[in-house]
Amino acid sequence: MIAEDLFDLAPVIPVVVLDDAEAAVPLARALVEGGLPVIEVTLRTPSALAAIARIAAEVPDAVVGAGTVVRPEDAERSAAAGAKFLVSPGCTARLQAAMVATGLPFLPGVATASEAIALLEGGITAMKFFPAEAAGGASYLKALGGPLPQIRFCPTGGISLRNAADYLALGNVGCVGGSWLTPADAVRDGDWDRVRKLASEAAALRTG
């Protein structure tokens, strides 16, 4: 699998924060059943790597990845835990080298044209656009499509069911990422029916 393949699996990648690894498997199953097989577990909690390992081992239909990869060791540990892809909020040469070394597909984060061009020089054409809304939103990404038509993005940050379609209508957007699919209270209460319903609504989104 290459990074561009992630764009073809679902229109939305759930961005998940898990405080309890025990919730990882039922959460992942609910998302997959709702039609969203690609799941980004962010490395923002001590339970994240264990959650990735549980999903990788117990939910075969899920394509689980690690998000908030900001250090070389994050890439290495995520790969060892069973992550199938990596996502970073930004990118440095050292972090890029570490992600490449894992052999996993990855979406390095950019917020400007210069950052995107720097990655393009290294042959990377699939990127995360973050923080999407704060950095200029769908209109900014549309503008980037003119001079940089070879790049496709997964915008994340401030995206919800309300504005996801605006991004997905753009030719240079492969999918979007969002945390609205796994509300903290639903995860805490184990309300997997709610998660499944939110996933189903998001899975119904189609590009323009």
Active-site residue flag, 197: no
What pLDDT is stored for residue 16 in this prediction? 98
What pLDDT is stored for residue 208 in this prediction? 41
Question: Rounded to the nearest 5°, which phi and psi values hold at 150?
Answer: -80, -10
Q: Which domains does the chain have, with CATH numbers?
A: 3-197 (3.20.20.70)
Share of the chain above pLDDT 70, in %: 99
Active-site residue flag, 121: no
For 186, the token pair is: 């639903």
Give me the chain's average pLDDT, please: 97
C-alpha span between 123 and 183 (Å, rounded): 36
Q: How many helices (H) and strands (E) does the chain have?
A: 10, 9
pLDDT digits 0-9 by tens, 27-76: 999 999 999 999 999 999 999 999 999 999 999 999 999 999 999 999 99
Mean pLDDT of 78-88: 98
pLDDT digits 0-9 by tens, 139-193: 999 999 999 999 999 999 999 999 999 999 999 999 999 999 999 999 999 999 9
150: left (phi over 0), alpha (psi -120 to 50) or beta: alpha
Cα–Cα separations (whole angstroms), residue 56 to 41, 53, 154: 11, 5, 22
Choosing from 128, 133, 197, 201, the catalytic residue is 128
What pLDDT is stored for residue 50 in this prediction? 98
pTM of the full structure:
0.96
Task: Report CA 54 to chain centroid distance, whole Å.
Answer: 18
Choosing from 40, 121, 133, 201, the catalytic residue is 40
What pLDDT is stored for residue 207 in this prediction? 42
Does position 101 have pLDDT exceeding 80, yes or no?
yes
